[in-house]
Amino acid sequence: MAPSPRNRIIRRLSTAFAALSLAGGVLAAGPAAGASPNPITHPDKDHAGSSLEGSGSGTVTPLVSGPLGLDVSSHQGNVTWSSVKSNGAQFAYVKATEGTTYQNPYFSQQYVGSYNVGLIRGAYHFATPDTSSGAAQADYFAAHGGGWSADHHTLPGAVDLESNPYGASCYGLSQASMRSWIHAFINEYHAKSGRWAVIYTSLSWWTSCTGNTDTTFATNSPLWIAKWASSAGTLPAGWSFYTFWQYADSGTFPGDQDVFNGDSTRLLALADNT
């Protein structure tokens, strides 16, 4: 018996669907194995505190005293470091890398330039935990500006942990997986540089994405807290004090405004690992 017109239509649709599935596997298999779920497409816009933009903080005066500094990225371009120094800055953090593919094109001008005027400087890495492992990103960072040297002017490298600029805030990782990723980065960076990386984060991101339960991070890693306000507020679990505080996104210096929790001798001691 010949198939009815309805059955012939169903059969043709089934055949067409099967052909599409086989011609590239898009319908059947999803993204290719190893592909990044959120490719890095605008690293020039990603910097320490970029996820806080739009919060209306503006210029803030911190309710503490201590050595003042700044953090910059390619966002700021070439920085006039002599003016930064004359305006009172004592330290600077410079974005070096993001993921395992991006290097700040202004890194040399910013990192070497800050050193040349006498600032104590350090490099930071913008983490993208959904694109590669913590160890891989620590290796890339250490090899592209994030290393440490005992020259009295270099701070330990920092890992910037904040909301995903390309998708879900926690990069699609569970809290346990995020904690494991961060431990892998910290441990690998220590193996490569001999220093424990500074952790840059906000309380809200840390709580949401790590659970704010693992106090062991505070054992070795100094805290760089992001809080655009006159007070640093509550700190993540384990840390009884912060080492750096990013308190505003604009002010005396280019980029974000930071303060060190201590005096100049303690800032030098951190650089010297003493």
Note whether 140 and 128 are within 8 A (CB): no
Note whether 215 and 199 are within 8 A (CB): no
Question: What is the C-alpha to C-alpha distance for residues 36 and 26, in angstroms, rounded to an integer?
Answer: 16
Nearest alpha carbon to residue 257 among 94, 109, 69 = 69
Question: What is the C-alpha to C-alpha distance for residues 222 and 197, in angstroms, rounded to an integer?
Answer: 7
Contacts of 39 (CB under 8 A, 6+ apart): 131, 166
Question: What is the C-alpha to C-alpha distance for residues 188 and 108, in angstroms, rounded to an integer?
Answer: 24
Question: What is the C-alpha to C-alpha distance for residues 146 and 53, in angstroms, rounded to an integer?
Answer: 25
Note whether 123 and 157 are within 8 A (CB): yes
Catalytic annotation, residues: 71, 160, 162
Question: What is the C-alpha to C-alpha distance for residues 135 and 71, in angstroms, rounded to an integer?
Answer: 24
Q: Which two tokens stand for residue 251?
A: 């002010």
Nearest alpha carbon to residue 186 among 224, 235, 138 = 138
Question: What is the C-alpha to C-alpha distance for residues 134 and 128, in angstroms, rounded to an integer?
Answer: 9
Note whether 99 and 131 are within 8 A (CB): yes
Question: What is the C-alpha to C-alpha distance for residues 29 and 182, in angstroms, rounded to an integer?
Answer: 30
